[in-house]
């Protein structure tokens, strides 16, 4: 049995069908708050309504599982945060998994994860990485870039509603994105291929500037314009918004981090090790260049 924590999320929804198609038994853990449970028991997937904040739920979720994929996140939630989910939730789940005899944990993380990283999310991810590395179980840490589809959805939503594509800062900083499909493919590979055990894998799909993304979206839509949010404004928001909207503060902080240029990374060397995993970049009616 493979437990996919956060199996209803953007990445989880891509991973679960791949595992089922490959003949694995899968259990999903989520609260059922931010997303409905997409699959039903008749699809061969066990659904476990559980909260990472509950040690009892963590223990129950891992019972009978040989492998775990941690794909939950509190970054995008207004009712939670990365400290509760990506750090403390991950640590609780890893502890429960080690006690229950789980053999291997795949921990989703992010490029830039570091205990002294510039944003809370990266510090939380580093703490979760440390927990799995020192757990005594086999582990794989997969550091991805921002999920490409999520960024496109955000930009497209505003283009559709307001005719404007929002751009943080200059739009000239390169950002390495990972497509959901590519992230799911490497998760499945990590579960099956011993070559990925006890390693940190940095997995990207395409490096693009905000200007390139905006131009592609505007060209596809054939209408609209760019709305720039000055770098100074989101630097201020990343601190000033904390008391009334921690979510907005997180997004602004992530924008400031991207503007610094630190969100791009060289993914070619790790990709070269696994050339059979296809690269899926920007899909706006044409394949990635």
Ligand X SMILES: NC(=O)c1ccc[n+]([C@@H]2O[C@H](COP(=O)([O-])OP(=O)(O)OC[C@H]3O[C@@H](n4cnc5c(N)ncnc54)[C@H](OP(=O)(O)O)[C@@H]3O)[C@@H](O)[C@H]2O)c1
Phi, psi dihedrals of residue 227, rounded to the nearest 5°: -115, 110
**Cβ pair 114, 123 in contact under 8 A:** yes
Contacting residue, 10, 104, 123, 271, with ligand X by CB under 6 A: 10
Helix (H, G, I), strand (E, B) or coil at 130: helix
Determine if 171 is a binding residue for ligand X (CB under 6 A): no
Least distance (Å) between residue 131 CB and ligand X: 13
Site stretch for ligand X (CB under 6 A), options 23-31, 98-106, 185-193, 217-225: 23-31
Q: Please give the residues from 110 up to 149 whose contact with ligand X meets the rule CB under 6 A.
A: 110, 144, 146-147
Least distance (Å) between residue 72 CB and ligand X: 3
Least distance (Å) between residue 56 CB and ligand X: 12
Contacting residue, 17, 20, 25, 35, with ligand X by CB under 6 A: 35
Size of the site for ligand X (CB under 6 A): 33
Strands (DSSP E) contained in 55-186 are: 67-70, 104-110, 138-144, 146-147, 164-168, 174-178
Determine if 213 is a binding residue for ligand X (CB under 6 A): no
Interatomic CA distance for residues 11 and 19, integer angstroms:
13
Determine if 6 is a binding residue for ligand X (CB under 6 A): yes
Q: Which is nearer to ligand X, 53 or 231 (CB)?
A: 53
Report CA-CA distances (Å) from 16 to 20, 29, 40, 188, 251.
6, 11, 12, 9, 28
Number of helices (H) and strands (E) in the chain: give both, helices first. 10, 12
Interatomic CA distance for residues 70 and 5, integer angstroms:
5
Q: Which is nearer to ligand X, 83 or 235 (CB)?
A: 83
Q: Please give the residues from 51 up to 110 whose contact with ligand X meets the rule CB under 6 A.
A: 51-53, 71-77, 80, 85-86, 89, 108, 110
Report CA-CA distances (Å) from 10 to 6, 60, 91, 106.
9, 24, 21, 16
Which residue is nearest to ligand X, using beta carbons? 9
């Amino acid at each position: 049995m493979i437990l996919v924590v956060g199996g209803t999320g953007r990445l989880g929804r891509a991973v679960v069908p791949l595992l089922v198609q490959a003949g694995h038994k899968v259990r999903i853990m989520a609260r059922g708050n931010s997303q409905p449970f997409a699959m039903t028991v008749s699809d061969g997937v066990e659904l476990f309504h559980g909260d990472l904040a509950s040690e009892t739920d963590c223990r129950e979720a891992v019972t009978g599982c040989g492998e775990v994929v941690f794909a939950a996140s509190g970054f995008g939630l207004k009712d939670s945060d990365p400290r509760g989910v990506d750090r403390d939730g991950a640590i609780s789940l890893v502890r429960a998994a080690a006690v229950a005899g789980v053999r291997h944990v795949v921990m989703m993380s992010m490029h830039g994860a570091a205990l002294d990283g510039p944003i809370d999310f990266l510090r939380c991810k580093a703490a979760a990485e440390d927990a799995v590395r020192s757990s005594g179980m086999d582990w794989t840490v997969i550091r991805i870039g921002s999920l490409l589809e999520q960024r496109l959805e955000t930009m497209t939503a505003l283009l559709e509603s307001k005719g404007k594509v929002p751009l943080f800062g200059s739009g000239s900083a390169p950002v390495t994105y990972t497509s959901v499909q590519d992230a799911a493919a490497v998760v499945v590979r990590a579960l099956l291929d011993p070559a990925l055990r006890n390693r940190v894998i940095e997995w990207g799909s395409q490096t693009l500037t905000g200007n390139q993304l905006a131009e592609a979206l505007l060209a596809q839509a054939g209408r609209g314009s760019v709305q720039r949010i000055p770098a100074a404004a989101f630097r201020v928001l990343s601190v000033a918004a904390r008391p009334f909207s921690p979510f907005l503060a997180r997004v602004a902080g992530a924008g400031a981090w991207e503007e610094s240029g630190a969100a791009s990374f060289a993914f070619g060397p790790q990709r070269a090790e696994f050339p059979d995993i296809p690269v899926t970049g920007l899909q706006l009616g044409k394949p990635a260049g």
